[in-house]
């Protein structure tokens, strides 16, 4: 596990806070993991674990992704 520190523009931070307030099953960690994995997948990273992490964060209740979501955290 790696800790990241990043400056986030205020509009993105406000949108993230708003999203998390409206979706209590999401937190900043899950949102960041899904966003980063989605970006990598959409930009050509060909990695099954990254794709599974992306899908596990989007569909946490799906039985096939439960193990993947644990390895993404």
pLDDT digits (tens, 9 = 90+) for 28-66: 888 988 899 999 999 999 999 998 888 888 887 777 765
Q: CA 60: distance to chain centroid?
A: 11
Q: What is the pLDDT of residue 33?
A: 86
- The count of other CB atoms within 10 Å of the CB of residue 54 is 25
Q: What is the pLDDT of residue 65?
A: 66
Q: What is the pLDDT of residue 73?
A: 59
37, HSE (Cβ side, Cα atoms, 13 Å): 22
The dihedral region occupied by 44, where left means phi > 0, alpha psi between -120 and 50, and beta the remainder, is left
Q: What is the pLDDT of residue 43?
A: 95
Separation of alpha carbons 11 and 9, rounded Å: 6
């Amino acid at each position: 596990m790696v800790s990241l520190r990043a400056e986030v523009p205020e509009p993105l931070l406000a949108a993230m806070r708003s999203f998390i307030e409206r979706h209590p099953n999401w937190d900043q960690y899950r949102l960041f993991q899904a966003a980063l994995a989605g970006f990598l997948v959409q930009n050509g990273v060909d990695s099954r674990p990254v794709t599974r992490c992306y899908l596990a964060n989007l569909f946490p209740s799906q039985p096939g992704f439960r193990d993947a979501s644990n390895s993404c955290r």
